[in-house]
């Protein structure tokens, strides 16, 4: 029986990865779409050839690794090129997730963590999707502490390119508040209990 599929997203600095690590600690499988995207870009032959055709052979180094700085420079600030890249990568990640899911039977539910869950449209294939939120100033502070190589201007530019929080909230089935004043753990445990029950109900049908 396929487990209940839960999607979790959130803007940069919201702490969605921290939230997902809690679920992982609870024994729930977590598919990190952003990390897997980097992996499939160097392992999926169809995707590799598509990227080379669209962005040139310099997209990859001689050893086959992804030339991240080159691609980043190519798409940064160019929404059209970024959209082209995303349209190539998202189907490959979807295939990878489908294969991953096949080996996760027996679990009541699984988590799919992705920054572009709503933008890519993949949330439509999931049972429930939620968003982790935090005040913008706090998110900027977190990212600058985590990534000292970034400037505040760069962080805010990334935020501008992401789905506005109000739009994400309109699409979300649940919300996790990670504002450093409201504890995250009780929120996660409440959802965990809820999905364990739903997952059991689904498997008994």
Best CA proximity match to 14, nearest among 147, 155, 134, 171: 134
Average model confidence (pLDDT) across the chain = 92
- Asked if residue 205 belongs to a domain, the reply is no
The CA distance from 170 to 152, in Å, is: 28
Classify 64 as helix, strand or coil.
Answer: coil
Asked whether residue 85 falls in the same domain as residue 180, the answer is no
Count of domains for the chain: 2
Whether 203 maps to a domain, the answer reads no
Checking if the pLDDT of 120 tops 90, the result is no
**Six-digit token string for 116:** 């572009």
Summarised one tens digit per residue, pLDDT across range 165-197 is 999 999 999 999 999 999 999 999 999 999 999
Q: What is the pLDDT of residue 20?
A: 97
φ and ψ of 137, to 5 deg: -60, -40
User: How confident is the model over 22-73, as pLDDT tens digits?
Assistant: 999 999 999 999 899 989 999 999 999 999 999 999 999 999 999 989 998 8
- pLDDT interval class at 203 (50, 70, 90): low
**What is the predicted pLDDT for the residue at 204?**
58
Residues 113 and 193 in one domain: yes
**Is residue 140 in a domain?**
yes
Boundary-marking domain end, from 103, 122, 140:
103
Domain co-membership, 55 together with 134: no
| Half-sphere exposure for 104 (CA within 13 Å, toward CB) | 21
Tell me what pLDDT residue 175 has: 97
116 and 192 assigned to the same domain:
yes
User: Which pLDDT does position 201 carry in this prediction?
Assistant: 76
pLDDT band at residue 82 under the 50/70/90 scheme: confident
Mean of the pLDDT values across residues 130-145?
A: 95
Q: Say which range, 79-83, 90-94, 134-138, has the weakest mean pLDDT.
A: 79-83
Domain holding 180: CATH number?
A: 3.40.50.300
**40 and 85 assigned to the same domain:** yes
Q: Does one domain contain both 14 and 63?
A: no
pTM of the model: 0.89
| pLDDT tier for residue 119 given thresholds of 50, 70 and 90 | confident
Backbone angles phi, psi at 17, to 5 degrees: -65, -35
For position 1, what pLDDT does the model report?
76
Residue 76, C-beta contacts closer than 8 angstroms, at least 6 positions apart: 82
Residues 47, 93, single domain; the answer is yes
pLDDT reported for residue 76: 74
Average of per-residue pLDDT across 124-149: 95
φ, ψ of residue 31 in degrees (nearest 5) = -100, 115
Domain of residue 43, residue span:
36-103
Residue 114 and residue 161 in one domain: yes
């Amino acid at each position: 029986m396929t487990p209940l599929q839960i999607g979790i997203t959130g803007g940069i600095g919201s702490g969605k990865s921290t939230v997902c690590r809690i679920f992982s600690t609870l024994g729930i499988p977590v598919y990190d779409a952003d990390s897997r995207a980097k992996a499939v870009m160097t392992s999926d032959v169809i995707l590799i050839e598509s990227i080379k055709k669209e962005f040139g052979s310099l997209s990859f180094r001689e050893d086959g690794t992804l030339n991240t700085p080159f691609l980043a420079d190519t798409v940064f600030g160019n929404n059209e090129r970024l959209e082209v890249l995303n349209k190539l990568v998202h189907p490959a990640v979807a295939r990878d997730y489908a294969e991953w899911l096949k080996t996760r039977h027996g679990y009541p539910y699984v988590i799919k963590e992705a920054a572009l869950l709503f933008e890519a449209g993949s949330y439509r294939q999931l049972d429930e999707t939620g968003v982790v939120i935090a005040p913008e100033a706090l998110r900027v502070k977190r990212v600058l502490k985590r990534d000292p190589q970034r400037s505040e201007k760069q962080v805010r530019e990334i935020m501008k390119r992401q789905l506005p929080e109000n739009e994400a909230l309109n699409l979300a089935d649940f919300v996790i508040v990670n504002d450093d004043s409201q504890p995250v753990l009780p929120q996660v445990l409440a959802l965990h209990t809820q999905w364990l029950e739903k997952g059991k109900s689904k498997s008994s049908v």
